[in-house]
């Protein structure tokens, strides 16, 4: 994919095009094409769009972003998080920890079948988990606490842990908890057309990298939770095209920007606003200064945090569909601390002084990866950092190479838009040595202790307090320079959006039929 980087003068806070909402940038983007019967009060077809194609359907390589609309329809997960953000049974109908928190026993639902007709049993769960544990990929780190997996009988899975892990159950409701068919897990075909036990299968009309047509399995154990007979997921990189299709009535669900919400309401669409679904974050990844020496000094990282006029960015660049923040944790989650928002006021002059005290009075240069979803932010970030003496060069990265670019240790600073999640997952992704947004495997004795306390706490209220301390450490030590929480609104007709923002996981269970 070829990307252009404009060098012509631009207003610092040029507004994003109306169609580019937070949903279009990374997380919850719904659009598509074809016949969706959007005028029907009982629509049986849902059409969604994502900005980039899934990299693979191999369970070890699954991503929890937009690709989850597809793979979570093909695979069962052990647990699931409902639209209110509550953890619920799924393939595992019950679970129980031992008194010391080091053994987790799952009881599987009986009668489940893979799309091949083979039975879903404890042996399949064991095989999938063990393969994920031993195969490098985006899910491997989420199972780092697992020592071994036993399958004493067909419906019982016993997981032995090296240490307590309060985030494990949540991980089992996402990609780390999928169940694959042991007979096909290692087959080359799994990456493109997997055998799963989920509610849908890929139709033969699907075109890899372009259009994914999902046909419902009427014999699925929980078919009532999936009212759509067909779900079409299209890869549409241009959010403007999605907005135009929505206004033309060609789709039955899509992102509604502040500018077109009124018009869509007049056309009979229901608008469902979500406060925050993602965070735009400048990851200051090289915290030891191994590639870019200045980043090893916390004063430099703090200076970067003071370079952004977050309020103005949220209002003008993001057209009000955002709120400024210095935190990466979900504002609806237990780790969020409103008091931390005052940590870094916009102050370029003070930022320059900090850089000078750190030994960089003339600033420095940095190369950062440019992704499709960061392109609209890049001029603003470039200008803000240039104002304090930091020169940015962007290297375009094809969509399929996003994760590999992040984890390559080539880029000391990374602008990323990450979907919000639970406190445990957000801490794991950003601050554990194996987190994919901690590519330089940064550690700190104080943070390691805080993470151990938080991750080992099985009581939700106590865990929230522990994660608050993790958040405080990260903000005050400037491990990131977050910019804004990104919100979005869904426009639906004939279908209904069921979520309230509590669960930001990309699943079609967030949609139902209206009427």
pLDDT digits (tens, 9 = 90+) for 318-354: 877 899 999 999 998 899 999 999 999 999 999 999 9
Give the residue with greater pLDDT, 264 vs 91.
Answer: 91
Sequence-distant (≥ 6) Cβ neighbours of residue 266 within 8 angstroms: none
pLDDT digits (tens, 9 = 90+) for 234-251: 887 776 777 777 888 778
The three-class DSSP label of residue 103 is strand
Per-residue pLDDT averaged across 272-283, rounded? Answer: 91
Give the residue with greater pLDDT, 488 vs 9.
Answer: 488
Burial of 215 (0-12, 13-18, 19+ CB in 10 A): middle
pLDDT digits (tens, 9 = 90+) for 105-160: 999 999 999 999 999 999 999 999 999 999 998 889 889 999 999 999 999 999 99
- Written as six digits, the tokens of 317 are 């660049």
**pLDDT of 367 strictly over 90:** yes
CA-to-CA distance for 187 and 195, rounded, in angstroms? Answer: 10
Per-residue pLDDT averaged across 408-428, rounded? Answer: 91
When pLDDT is cut at 50, 70 and 90, the band that residue 15 belongs to is very low
Phi, psi of 136 (to 5 degrees): -55, 135
pLDDT digits (tens, 9 = 90+) for 84-98: 888 999 999 999 999
423-431 and 445-455 helices, crossing angle to 10°: 150
pLDDT digits (tens, 9 = 90+) for 280-333: 999 999 999 999 999 999 999 999 999 999 999 999 988 778 999 999 999 988
The per-residue pLDDT for 2 is 30
Most confident of 72-81, 237-246, 266-275, 489-498: 72-81
Q: Which CATH architecture has domain 76-186?
A: Alpha-Beta Complex (3.90)
- Written as six digits, the tokens of 481 are 């320079």
Strands (DSSP E) contained in 37-108 are 45-50, 79-81, 87-89, 92-97, 103-108
Residue linked to tokens 């106590």: 462
Share of the chain above pLDDT 70, in %: 91
Where exactly are the structural domains of the chain? 76-186, 276-487
When pLDDT is cut at 50, 70 and 90, the band that residue 39 belongs to is very low
Give the residue with greater pLDDT, 255 vs 78.
Answer: 78
The pTM score is 0.74
CA-to-CA distance for 465 and 421, rounded, in angstroms? Answer: 17
The phi-psi region of residue 352 (left if phi > 0; otherwise alpha if psi is between -120 and 50; otherwise beta) is alpha
pLDDT digits (tens, 9 = 90+) for 430-479: 999 988 899 999 999 999 999 999 988 888 889 999 999 999 999 999 99
**pLDDT of 25 strictly over 50:** no
Strands (DSSP E) contained in 312-420 are 322-324, 364-370, 390-396, 413-419
Phi, psi of 457 (to 5 degrees): -90, 120
Name the class of domain 276-487.
alpha beta
Within 10 angstroms of residue 204's Cβ, the number of other Cβ atoms is: 8
CA-to-CA distance for 147 and 12, rounded, in angstroms? Answer: 51
The per-residue pLDDT for 323 is 94
Please provide the DSSP assignment of 229-283 as one string: SEEEEEE---HHHHHHHHHTT--SEEE--TTTHHHHHHTTPEEEEEEEEEEEEEE
Give the residue with greater pLDDT, 465 vs 5.
Answer: 465
The per-residue pLDDT for 43 is 57
Residue linked to tokens 């988990």: 129
Decide the pairing of beta strands 511-513 and 322-324.
unpaired
Within 10 angstroms of residue 214's Cβ, the number of other Cβ atoms is: 26
Mean pLDDT in the chain? 88
pLDDT digits (tens, 9 = 90+) for 160-206: 999 999 889 989 999 999 999 999 999 999 999 999 999 999 999 99
Cα 17 to Cα 328, 387, 412, distances in angstroms: 25, 25, 29
The per-residue pLDDT for 498 is 92
């Amino acid at each position: 994919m070829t990307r252009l980087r404009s060098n012509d003068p631009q207003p610092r806070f040029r507004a994003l095009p109306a169609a580019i909402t937070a949903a279009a940038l990374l997380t919850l983007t719904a659009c598509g094409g074809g016949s969706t019967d959007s005028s029907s009060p009982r629509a049986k077809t849902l059409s969604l769009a994502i900005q980039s194609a899934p990299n693979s359907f191999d369970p070890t390589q699954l991503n929890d972003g937009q690709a989850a609309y597809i793979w979570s329809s093909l695979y069962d997960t052990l647990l699931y998080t409902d639209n209110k953000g509550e953890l619920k049974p799924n393939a595992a109908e019950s679970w129980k920890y031992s008194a010391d928190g080091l053994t987790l026993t799952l009881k599987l639902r009986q009668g489940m079948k893979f799309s091949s007709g083979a039975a879903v049993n404890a042996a399949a769960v064991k095989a999938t988990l063990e393969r994920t544990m031993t195969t490098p990929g985006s899910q491997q780190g989420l199972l780092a606490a697992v020592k071994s997996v036993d399958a004493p009988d067909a419906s019982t899975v016993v997981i032995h842990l090296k240490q307590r892990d309060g985030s494990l159950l949540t991980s089992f409701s996402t990609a780390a908890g999928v169940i694959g068919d042991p007979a096909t897990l290692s087959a080359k075909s799994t990456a493109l057309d997997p055998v799963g036990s989920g509610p849908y299968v890929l139709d033969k009309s699907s075109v890899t990298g372009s259009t994914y047509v999902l046909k419902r399995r009427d014999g699925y154990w929980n078919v009532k939770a999936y009212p759509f007979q067909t779900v079409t997921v299209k890869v549409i990189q241009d959010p403007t095209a999605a907005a135009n299709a929505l206004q033309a009535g060609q789709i039955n669900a899509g992102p509604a920007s502040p500018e077109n919400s009124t018009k869509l309401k007049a056309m009979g669409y229901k608008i469902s606003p979500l406060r925050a679904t993602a965070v735009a974050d400048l990851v200051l990844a090289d915290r030891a200064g191994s590639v870019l020496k200045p980043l090893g000094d916390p004063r430099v990282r703090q200076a970067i945090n003071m370079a952004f006029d977050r309020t103005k960015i949220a209002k003008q660049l993001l057209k009000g569909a955002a709120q400024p923040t210095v935190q990466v944790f979900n504002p609806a989650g237990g780790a969020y601390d409103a008091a931390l928002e005052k940590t870094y006021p916009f102050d370029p002059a003070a930022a320059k002084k900090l850089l000078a005290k750190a030994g960089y009075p003339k600033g420095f240069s940095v190369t950062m990866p440019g992704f499709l979803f960061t392109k609209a932010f890049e001029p603003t970030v470039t200008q803000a950092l240039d104002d304090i003496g930091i020169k940015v060069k962007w290297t375009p990265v094809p969509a399929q190479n996003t994760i590999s670019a992040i984890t390559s240790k080539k880029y000391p600073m990374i602008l990323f838009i990450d979907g919000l999640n639970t406190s445990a997952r957000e801490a794991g992704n950003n601050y554990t040595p194996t987190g994919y947004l901690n590519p330089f495997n940064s550690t700190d004795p104080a943070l390691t202790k805080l993470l151990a306390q938080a991750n080992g706490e099985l009581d939700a209220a106590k865990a929230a307090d522990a994660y608050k301390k993790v958040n405080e450490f990260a903000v005050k030590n400037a491990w990131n320079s977050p910019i804004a929480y990104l919100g979005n609104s869904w426009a639906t007709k004939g279908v209904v959006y069921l979520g309230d923002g509590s669960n930001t996981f990309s699943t079609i269970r967030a949609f139902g039929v209206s009427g």
